[in-house]
Amino acid sequence: MRDLVYPPVVAFAKTAFKVLDLKIRRTGTEHVPPTGGALIAINHISYVDFILGGYGALPAKRLVRFMAKEVLFRNRISGPLMRGMHHIPVDRDAGAASYQQALEYLAAGELVGVFPEATISRSFELKEFKSGTVRMAAEAGVPVLPMILWGTQRMFTKDHPRDFTRHRPISISIGAPITVTRDDDPAEATAHLRSTMAGMLDETIRAYPEQPAGAWWLPAAYGGSAPTPEEARRLDAEELARRAAKRQ
């Protein structure tokens, strides 16, 4: 797959990281295979997760093809970039095409990035996972690499203004590959993936260098003032209702 757009975008991102003096800590990068297809399952807490998620694979000299909302491919600015980097548009009303494209990428030996929660978590804890990740891995015969991001929510997330303050710590943790076969029950495999990532998230939060009590970006379970998972579900439902009313 020819990449004329991706390398300059990576170079621009690295420059931005230096300008912001982000304190990025990457662990588990040895789990990213140097060749061959694999799915990278990432928690979703920010609008910039795909940028930092892709950065986690760079030590292995790999580029990640992300499954992303189709609307990003229609935007006059992001559209050419998304297509040029060979990301995968996802239309939630017609998901078969994106699923098939992802399988083709995996068969061709690409890394495909997915967000099993589908949408950003307002609580910054893990939401329920969709089963598509493990079903895709089983069908393609590739491993799932769990990845946890932390600190990205402080930059740009739902319900809060953008804040690109300098010197901010960012954590990127990659776990050991998880094998899923066609014989595995998708629900059980999804629960195992979520449980693994929940443990990784807990470790990542506890190891994060900043833990200010009452911080809006810290989960309530860790002494922060972020919405609880129950409150986040209510906010998500209200958001969906507003969108439905707007479409009508």
pLDDT at 81: 95
- State which amino acid sits at residue 15: T
Whether residue 136 contacts residue 101, with contact meaning beta carbons closer than 8 Å, is answered with no
Residue 199 lies in a domain: yes
Which helix (H) or strand (E) segment holds residue 243: the answer is: helix 229-247
Domain extent for 175: 6-214
pLDDT digits (tens, 9 = 90+) for 29-53: 999 999 999 999 999 999 999 999 9
- State which amino acid sits at residue 221: A
The pair of three-digit structure tokens given for residue 9, joined into one six-digit string: 């975008």
User: In the block, which residue shows the tokens 């690109």?
Assistant: 164
Residue 231 lies in a domain: no
Q: Beta strands 144-150 and 169-174: pairing type?
A: antiparallel
The size of the chain, in residues, is 248
Q: Beta strands 88-90 and 23-27: pairing type?
A: unpaired
Reported as a pLDDT band with limits 50, 70 and 90, residue 91 is confident
Q: What is the CATH number of the domain that holds 190?
A: 3.40.1130.10
Q: Beta strands 23-27 and 169-174: pairing type?
A: parallel
Whether residue 16 contacts residue 129, with contact meaning beta carbons closer than 8 Å, is answered with no
pLDDT digits (tens, 9 = 90+) for 99-144: 999 999 999 999 999 999 999 999 999 999 999 999 999 999 999 9
State whether the Cα torsion 24-37-71-147 is positive or negative. Answer: negative
Residue 229 lies in a domain: no
Total domain count for the chain?
A: 1
Residue 90 lies in a domain: yes
Q: DSSP characters for 29-91?
A: GGGS-SSS-EEEEE----TTHHHHHHHTTGGGT--EEEEEETHHHHSTTHHHHHHHTT-EEE-
Average pLDDT, the chain: 96
d(CA 214, CA 51): 27
pLDDT at 106: 98
Residue 188 lies in a domain: yes
Strands (E), the chain: 23-27, 38-42, 64-69, 88-90, 111-114, 144-150, 169-174
d(CA 201, CA 177): 16
For residue 112, give every residue at least 6 positions away whose Cβ sits within 8 Å of its Cβ, in sequence order, or none.
37, 38, 39, 40, 64, 65, 66, 67, 88, 102, 105, 106, 136
The pair of three-digit structure tokens given for residue 1, joined into one six-digit string: 């797959």
The pair of three-digit structure tokens given for residue 178, joined into one six-digit string: 């998880």
The answer, yes or no, to whether residue 94 has pLDDT greater than 80, is: no
Residue 174 lies in a domain: yes
- State which amino acid sits at residue 239: E
Mean pLDDT of 189-200: 98
- pTM for the model: 0.95
The answer, yes or no, to whether residue 1 has pLDDT greater than 90, is: no
Residue 223 lies in a domain: no
Residue 219 lies in a domain: no
